[in-house]
Every structure is written in C-alpha cells, then in structure tokens.
C-alpha cells in the first residue's frame, strides 16, 4: 500500500479527522503495525475489534484502542504515539481506511481497518 502520495493532514484537523474515522469504523477490525528504523517491523495487534482512534491535543498524543467491548475481548488495549509529527489518512479501494502516524524519531505506526465478518445469527 503506497501511502507516500497521501498529503499529511493539517494539525488543526487531527482531532476531527480521527473522530470521523472512529465513527466510520464502528464494529470493524484493526491491525496496528509499527515500523521502527532501529528494530524493524512489529505487529502490535492483528485484526482485533476496533474501539477508537483519537488525538489528545493537551497531552499531544495519538491513541488507538482495541477490544474492551465484548466477552471475547474484554480488555481495552491502547497503543499511543506521543508527540506525533504527521498523520496521513488513505482511503483504500475497499472504501476502508489506513492511517499512518509518524513520531519524532521517524517511527511510523500504521493502522489498517478491515470489515468484521458478522457471525451467523447476529
């Protein structure tokens, strides 16, 4: 997925844009990947139930949360990116989104959304 051509969001739009992503992906799954220049590529979460994505301007941190809403995933897990430098949002061909957050050290966090498979009878 090429995200280099996606312009970074203006800092003043971060909170609103991430709130919109949260609303658009209620009930979806999310994968969180971290690309650290010193240690390489790491998965933080793979296709877990998405809870929310937010920017807190007071603490200058982006927070993505998974789980916490069902007996199968009762614990809410948060991944935080302190002092983000850039946020890019890409719309994929499936009308899903991918969000890239870059921190001051050049580590990129990639958040990719997937439609959840609905269980029969639900």
Buried b (16+ CB within 10 A) or exposed e, 6-19: eeebeeeebeebbe
Segment 29-49 mean pLDDT: 94
Which domain, by its residues, includes 68? 11-114
CATH code of the domain in which 23 resides: 2.30.29
- So what's the pLDDT on residue 54? 97
Position 121 in a domain: no
Position 80 in a domain: yes
Position 94 in a domain: yes
Segment 12-33 mean pLDDT: 95
Q: How many structural domains comprise the chain?
A: 1
Name the band, by pLDDT with cuts 50, 70 and 90, for residue 105: very high
Give pTM, 2 decimals.
0.85
């Amino acid at each position: 997925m090429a995200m280099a051509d996606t312009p970074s969001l203006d800092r003043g739009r971060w909170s609103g844009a991430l709130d919109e992503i949260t609303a658009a992906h209620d009930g979806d799954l999310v994968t969180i990947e971290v690309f650290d220049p010193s240690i390489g590529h790491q998965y933080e979460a793979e296709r877990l139930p998405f809870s929310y994505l937010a920017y807190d301007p007071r603490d200058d941190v982006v927070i993505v949360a998974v789980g916490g809403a069902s007996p199968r995933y009762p614990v809410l897990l948060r991944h935080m990116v302190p002092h983000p430098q850039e946020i890019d949002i890409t719309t994929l061909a499936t009308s899903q989104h991918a969000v890239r957050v870059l921190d001051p050290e050049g580590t990129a966090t990639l958040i990719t959304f997937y439609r959840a498979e609905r269980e029969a009878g639900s």
